[in-house]
């Protein structure tokens, strides 16, 4: 990286703005590290953290790759927070928010962060609440909430409802929009199943049933199930 100008000027086909070989080599190295990071021991994983600020100073457009790599080696919530602090200090506000939204998808991937993967649903909820209430980083954990917390039957629903109310009043308009558009599909399974059985009984018990008050879509769901 320190020899970028020299290498680019010698190896580019036309001029030093053509192929940018150093940039693309660093990009390939980071991509390969992300794919094979689990093959390294913990000590070597930790050493990658010291490279992150250096690479970010080299070119800030590596933020997403650096963030993904650091998420994969994170061992606790403080490690995750340190990623956001690094980017807040080095990126513009607009670019930081864009990276934050992309990293939200990364931590929502259950294979991207072994630390989060080991948590049960209520521990994940506690983690999300910490980022929202203590660190004001709702965008970072919204996909985690949506994909791995809100839709779980054994999660504390009252806490989820209170958290959603808070997010829907966020001053961040993009976060507010995402939460207002999102609907939690909580179901009362026993009551709904009994209601569907009763609807089917009505149909079977009458040769010419009045189905004006029956939700046919629910019936179709029962047939498919």
Last residue of one domain, picked from the residues 118, 145, 178: 118
pLDDT number for residue 203 = 61
pLDDT at res. 18: 63
Does residue 4 sit in the same domain as residue 114?
yes
Q: Which of 118, 134, 162 represents a domain boundary (last residue)?
A: 118
| pLDDT in the model for residue 219 | 42
pLDDT at res. 47: 87
State how far the Cα of 27 lies from the Cα of 62, in Å rounded to an integer: 8
Task: Answer yes or no: is 73 within a domain.
Answer: yes
Judge if 193 and 114 occupy the same domain: no
Domain hosting 87: range is 1-118
Q: Are residues 6 and 97 in the same domain?
A: yes
Residues 105 and 5 in one domain: yes
Is 57 contained in some domain?
Answer: yes
Q: For the chain, how many residues are written?
A: 225
13, part of any domain:
yes
Do residues 15 and 109 share a domain?
yes
Is residue 211 one of the residues assigned to a domain?
yes
The pLDDT assigned to 144 comes to: 95
Q: Where among 118, 136, 165 does a domain terminate?
A: 118
Please state, as a whole number, how many other Cβ atoms lie within 10 Å of the Cβ of residue 30.
Answer: 20
Q: Is residue 84 in a domain?
A: yes
For residue 220, tell me if it sits in a domain: yes
Confidence at residue 53, expressed as pLDDT on a 0 to 100 scale: 93
Q: What is the mean pLDDT of each run of 10 residues along the chain (225 residues)?
A: 82 64 91 92 87 92 96 94 96 95 92 89 95 94 94 88 93 93 71 60 55 44 45
Same domain, 114 and 193: no
Structural domains in the chain (count): 2
- 9 and 96 co-located in one domain: yes
pLDDT at 106: 95
Q: Do 100 and 21 reside in the same domain of the chain? A: yes
What's the confidence (pLDDT) of residue 209?
Answer: 47
Residues 3, 94, single domain; the answer is yes
Residue 50 in any domain: the answer is yes
- pLDDT of 223: 42
Residues 6+ away with beta carbon under 8 Å from 179: 142, 164, 167, 168, 170
98 part of a folded domain: yes
């Amino acid at each position: 990286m320190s020899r970028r100008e020299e290498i680019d000027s010698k190896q580019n086909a036309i001029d030093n703005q053509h192929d940018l070989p150093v940039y693309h080599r660093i990009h390939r190295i980071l991509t390969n590290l992300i794919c094979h990071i689990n093959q390294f021991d913990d000590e070597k994983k930790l050493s990658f953290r010291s490279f992150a600020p250096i690479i970010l100073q080299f070119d800030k457009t590596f933020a997403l790759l650096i963030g993904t790599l650091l998420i994969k080696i994170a061992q606790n919530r403080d490690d995750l927070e340190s990623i956001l602090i690094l980017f807040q200090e080095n990126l513009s506000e607009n670019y930081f928010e864009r990276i934050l939204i992309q990293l939200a998808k990364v931590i929502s991937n259950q294979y991207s962060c072994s630390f989060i993967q080991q948590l049960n649903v209520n521990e994940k909820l506690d983690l999300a609440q910490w980022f929202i209430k203590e660190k004001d980083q709702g965008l970072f954990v919204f996909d985690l909430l949506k994909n791995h917390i809100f839709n779980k039957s054994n999660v504390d629903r009252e806490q989820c409802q209170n958290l959603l109310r808070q997010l829907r009043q966020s001053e961040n308009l993009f976060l507010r929009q995402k939460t207002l558009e999102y609907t939690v599909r909580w179901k009362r399974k026993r009551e709904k199943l009994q209601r569907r059985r009763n609807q089917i009984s009505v149909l079977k018990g009458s040769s010419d049933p009045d189905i004006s008050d029956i939700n046919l879509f629910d019936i179709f769901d029962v047939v498919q199930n």
